[in-house]
Chain A
């Protein structure tokens, strides 16, 4: 299975590198946020009580990275729809390759993509703006982002394989991701100091909030159990569920 996973990973990665423009386009949006929205946050964060600890850049940069993972991984299913249309999925499924490998090879490529893009954004925040974050913390956040990307890409493939429709797929993804994104406090953290009680309560139910919190903790170098435990547990559980879901969908006869 590892060998098959590697083969599929290599295929997808080769295709990705053949069109590096897509990597750049994916990175454009968070870069724009960083440049055009980040400076605005600097004063707001210093003058408004209720923000989590850390400078505006340690709050914003990890959030943008996670937002990027949310966007690019949830739309990964598009690539699969194209592969379905041109028969690639069927061709691979008729080989003895492990069904799990067919999924893992693909989602690992998605994970790698996000990490590369995250490095670009972090590098930019370091060089151009005033980000200061410990090396270990950044590594931790990158790991979180990679796992998040694998999680969401698996789910995205499962949904794409189930819907098999290039129109309804993005509609569904948008409908689900928009509230999830807003409720996870990506741009402005949803804290007790900033949000009304009901909004805070709902945001705590959203699993992604805890993952964003863990990502921020990494950037400010807070490795305490308190800051990381919930997010890590949520992420590991979500990842297991989504990979299982994706693999099951790949194994299913109609996939």
Chain B
């Protein structure tokens, strides 16, 4: 559905040049739900705006929904849906008006637009709000209206930019359900950006991690987590057995970051869940009693830390160049 090669975008303002996106390759297959994860200012929105024809790439090429991004932007526009970060409804417009306008701009007749709108408002729990102005809707409702607008023409590929930013936890969980349903019931291919680890983890089949305008890693959430640092394991043993326990642990394939102190042996291993049974048998054979054990799967934050040397939350603190760039992309 998406095949991008060397997509690049450079902004020049007041003599300063910022490479917002430094040549990314993106492949998304039909029916996939792919997440674009990175801190604010990493280039997520810029990439998305290029893929949705809103911004012309400085270099690179892409096929989106079967059309060439550069030579046939109109073809791309007809086939994709886009739900922007801040939404896109006029505060004084009524829900029904926005839905009808959107449908008709995509070439539906008035009757078709109204029928399709009714279907979508039903699916997205927006029934009964037709005559309300969008400024009177709750944040979650408005977000679902944005989604309805993005789906009005039954696109096979939908882009979401930060779909749940600014929503309360309940609305967020609700929106996740709607996004999952889209894929499972209607086979829509989804590409979303997020700077929430839980979101990428909970929703996506595959994640692209972007930082500083480059894709720094790619894979399923589990593969990404397995690839870096591994699971953290903590075993409680008697002080007397510490030395021998540490020795046995040191022999496990892939074990690293081993420390043994205060009755605890801590280490990391690629797959903690499969390493433990054998380890416990080895402890038994050596007469070491295991008093407690704990395995913690790495989080995507660990992944980001390993890849970039910064935690995702630290990376959020925008550098001056980033703020500028963000302001530009947001305003645009």
Contacts and interface: CB of A to CB of B under 8 A. Distances in A.
Given A96-B74, A96-B78, A164-B331, A19 B52 contact: no
B92 A94 contact: no
Interface stretch (A85-93, A167-175, A210-218): A85-93
B86 A7 contact: no
Interface string B87-118: 11111110001000110111100000000000
A18 B97 CA distance: 13
A53 to B, nearest CB: 46
A254 interface: yes
Contact of A19 (B77, B84, B85, B92): B92
B55 A96 contact: no
Contacts of A140: none
B107 A96 contact: yes
B104 A7 contact: yes
Contacts of A3: 104
B86 A87 contact: yes
Given A11-B97, A94-B53, A253-B54, A83 B90 contact: yes
Given A11-B101, A95-B105, A87 B84 contact: yes
Contacts of A164: 331-332
B92 A87 contact: no
B63 interface: no
A90 B105 contact: no
B106 A86 contact: no
A240 to B, nearest CB: 25
Interface string A2-16: 011001000100110
B86 A15 contact: no
Nearest to B90: A88
A84 interface: yes
A163 to B, nearest CB: 11
A94 B78 CA distance: 9
Contact of A92 (B55, B105, B107): B105
A49 B74 CA distance: 62
Contact of A93 (B54, B56, B78, B101): B54
Nearest to B85: A87
A169 to B, nearest CB: 13
B82 interface: yes
Contact of A87 (B53, B88, B102): B88
Nearest to A11: B101
Given A87-B88, A90-B88, 14 more contacts: A11-B93, A14-B97, A87-B84, A87-B86, A87-B89, A90-B332, A91-B82, A91-B149, A94-B53, A94-B54, A94-B77, A95-B77, A95-B106, A253-B55
9 contacts: A3-B104, A11-B93, A87-B86, A87-B88, A88-B90, A90-B88, A164-B332, A254-B55, A254-B332
